[in-house]
Amino acid sequence: MSVVDNCLFCESNKIVVTRQLPIHFNTKIFTWNKCENCGLLFLLPHLSNSDKEIMYRYNYHETYYFKYTEDYRKQLQIIESFKKRTFLDFGCGDAGLISFLQKNNYTVTGVEYDEKLVEILKSKFEGINFIQESDFWNTTTTFDIIHLGDVLEHVGNPKELMNQLKKKLNTDGVFFIEGPLECNPCLGYYFRKGTYFIRNILNRESLRVKYPYHITYSNARNQQLFFNQLQLEKINFKVGEEGWPYIDRLAEIKSPWLLLQYLVSRCSAFISSFIPRWGNRFIYIAKQK
Ligand SMILES: [Zn+2]
């Protein structure tokens, strides 16, 4: 196995291919690999530009982001404590967060991969600087705060991405990173494992993931280990919980199965609030050393 196939978090070469059904996408087969050193589950091979273009066309954001309205008061509360003004959202999606921050007097910039999405965002939001990712790396602007919300799990080179972004952060700047912990203990995780086991017996094919959207599936331990290698000064690493992949809003209950999901996600969040490091999401805050 070549160096490029080492663990995406700890670079160990002790990698085993798991029995999870591979993903067939864009005439390729993506396998599920587990690092025996840090426990990270990740997909191989790395995504090509063609894979990314197909997956992250404008429809992706239409399906997953534009149709949903999120509440960003929690993020505002976190960044207010930094007393900074310029904010980069790398992977800004529907620009929900930065348009909210703009209304709260932040100078905001959004970066996205897809050219069409960037054009749409530019026409939709006035006064926000949107840049396509390929152009962004040629700019010299640096920022007070760099935010990545649910981005790292989509990239095949998370360490390289963070090292590049460090060059875009002011010397007294702050990284604010949020994302899922899809393999971290919590009731919801164990419930999913149980349903996975049953589906594996009844209809194994139903378990096959269709698109390689998420490349890394982390837990609190290896996610922290990943951040510890970046030569940043940690301010906070916090584990929290949200409903996803299950529903967590009453309005979404439309069947007995969704009712069960709702109950599991609510109970899971309640239990996790008492157990340190249980949960399905993290927030990481750090500054330059
Ligand atoms: Zn590893």
Percentage, residues of the chain above pLDDT 70: 94
Distance from the alpha carbon of residue 158 to the mean position of ligand 1, in angstroms: 12
Distance from the alpha carbon of residue 52 to the mean position of ligand 1, in angstroms: 24
- Is residue 2 scored above 50 in pLDDT? no
Query: What tens digit of pLDDT does each residue of 238-258 get?
Result: 999 988 777 778 888 889 989
Domains of the chain: 56-213+224-288 (3.40.50.150)
Higher pLDDT, 3 or 123: 123
What is the distance, to the nearest Å, from the Cα of residue 282 to the centroid of all Cα atoms in its chain? 10
Query: What tens digit of pLDDT does each residue of 138-196 get?
Result: 999 999 999 999 999 999 999 999 999 999 999 999 999 999 999 999 999 999 999 99
Distance from the alpha carbon of residue 133 to the mean position of ligand 1, in angstroms: 27
Higher pLDDT, 59 or 89: 89
Distance from the alpha carbon of residue 10 to the mean position of ligand 1, in angstroms: 4
Distance from the alpha carbon of residue 39 to the mean position of ligand 1, in angstroms: 6
- Is residue 122 scored above 80 in pLDDT? yes
Distance from the alpha carbon of residue 2 to the mean position of ligand 1, in angstroms: 15
pTM confidence score: 0.92
Distance from the alpha carbon of residue 14 to the mean position of ligand 1, in angstroms: 8
